[in-house]
Structure 1
């Protein structure tokens, strides 16, 4: 199979060959300056090397060419989230959704954006959809569990966090939050056992250490 310039550029970028990737994306843009794909790819490359200002310029150029190009809205939104520009992130990611983009990464990023904005109600359906599309993704499962807990759906939060630990038993933050969910459900023994397990895996986990110390004090241990 013969790869085009954009595909060769993506391949080079994945291999860490950023200069070669830039050459390929430039070639793609020169070959068809009306195709937004090359601009998005160049923006992604610039973002990867930390040149955020120029990355935004390329994303905006892609959107000038095609304002319904979901990948450009997504890339701009993901960068805005990284820069903690949450209003811009939410608007851009929502535009990607409206443009017809529908994958786990988009729903996940939009869910994280709503969480960062403190809007746990709107975060939950986005993270649920991400989980539906990528049920084996550890971080999606973890964040979905947190969102359920933040929306006080504790039984479902426990299920999601247990699923996270099925995927990665060493995920100490998932295990700590599972312990806290058990505590709110009145499952004292399970809470204590999970906190002990967290500290076995990560002795410097400050939150788990403090929670276990408080339980020890209450239990007279």
Structure 2
């Protein structure tokens, strides 16, 4: 069971974004970084701005050592650098050090309470630590600052799903898609939400619209595999999983789907939230 859950985490997010992200049958949060776009200000040192952009690129390329070095340099030059502190939080988050990442996110948010990037980081950490109510509150705070922000909407949808509020999550994600038509991570999270709520067929239909594009995020494929798995179509699920996972992980996922189907045969409806792994937010949060 533990191995199947771990492999599911590698697959889906909440993201999410779990896209919600879920990374595992969770939520995805998207593949873009949450560091705010930084205009060059009159008093900004060009070298510092350039190094921060290089750090962002390094983080996106998973070059964590270089990213850490550059973000630390920015913070040493300016201890109140919100981009630098947020970048350090993103780097620690990416390597799974959520507690320390939260420290940097909170420090950045205290310096600039209206900066959304550290707030999204705080919410992502809360999801990973299964503090879903805290994540919901923080994502809603982001949406008061930037209404209809797709990243925050995807994250909020993931947090609601992980709390078992599937109908609420779906309503929010559908509304967000009206404001952000075609956003892949919102669609991924909607498809996953439908699947988790006990309607994998409708979830698969939503996810198929995303996965038909060559640049579809991996979470879309993993969540589609989950939907097929819950429908009992193991062949289709295995074919999809094989694109991103080794054979052993594919088999672990298939066993996980079988377990969920057995649970679905019982009176309880939907996939129990306790069985859902938390997202690896890239998310839609970054990672």
- TM-score, length of structure 1 as denominator length: 0.69
* Larger helix proportion of the pair: 1
1:198 aligned to 2:233? Answer: no
Residue 93 of structure 1, CA deviation: 1.6
Contact 1:74 1:92 (C-alpha < 8 Å) held by counterparts: yes
CA distance in 1, matches of 2:159, 2:79: 32
Residue 149 of structure 1, CA deviation: 5.9
Distance 1:74 1:169, change over 3 A: closer
Contact 2:203 2:227 (C-alpha < 8 Å) held by counterparts: no
Which residue in the other structure is 2:4 paired with?
none
CA distance in 2, matches of 1:41, 1:196: 40
Secondary structure of the equivalent of 2:113? coil
Residue 152 of structure 1, CA deviation: 8.1
- TM-score, length of structure 2 as denominator length: 0.55
CA distance in 1, matches of 2:65, 2:234: 48
Contact 2:127 2:159 (C-alpha < 8 Å) held by counterparts: yes
1:123 aligned to 2:161? Answer: no
CA distance in 2, matches of 1:101, 1:91: 14
Which residue in the other structure is 1:13 paired with?
59
Residue 58 of structure 1, CA deviation: 0.8
CA distance in 2, matches of 1:200, 1:55: 35
Gapped regions of structure 1 (runs ≥ 5): 180-193, 215-221
Contact 1:77 1:93 (C-alpha < 8 Å) held by counterparts: yes
Cα RMSD (Å): 3.6
CA distance in 2, matches of 1:149, 1:52: 28
CA distance in 2, matches of 1:169, 1:13: 24
Which residue in the other structure is 1:219 paired with?
none
Residue 158 of structure 1, CA deviation: 6.2
Residue 144 of structure 1, CA deviation: 1.1
Residue 72 of structure 1, CA deviation: 0.8
Distance 1:208 1:130, change over 3 A: farther
1:63 aligned to 2:101? Answer: no
Secondary structure of the equivalent of 1:16? coil
Equivalent of 2:190, from 120, 134, 144? 144
Which residue in the other structure is 1:32 paired with?
78
Gapped regions of structure 2 (runs ≥ 5): 1-45, 214-219, 242-249, 266-287
Q: How many pairs are equivalent? A: 196
Secondary structure of the equivalent of 2:233? helix
Distance 1:19 1:130, change over 3 A: same
Residue 33 of structure 1, CA deviation: 3.2
Equivalent of 1:175, from 192, 217, 228? 228
Secondary structure of the equivalent of 1:118? coil
Residue 117 of structure 1, CA deviation: 0.5
Equivalent positions of 1:91-106 (< 5 A) are 91-100=137-146, 102-106=148-152
Residue 55 of structure 1, CA deviation: 1.2
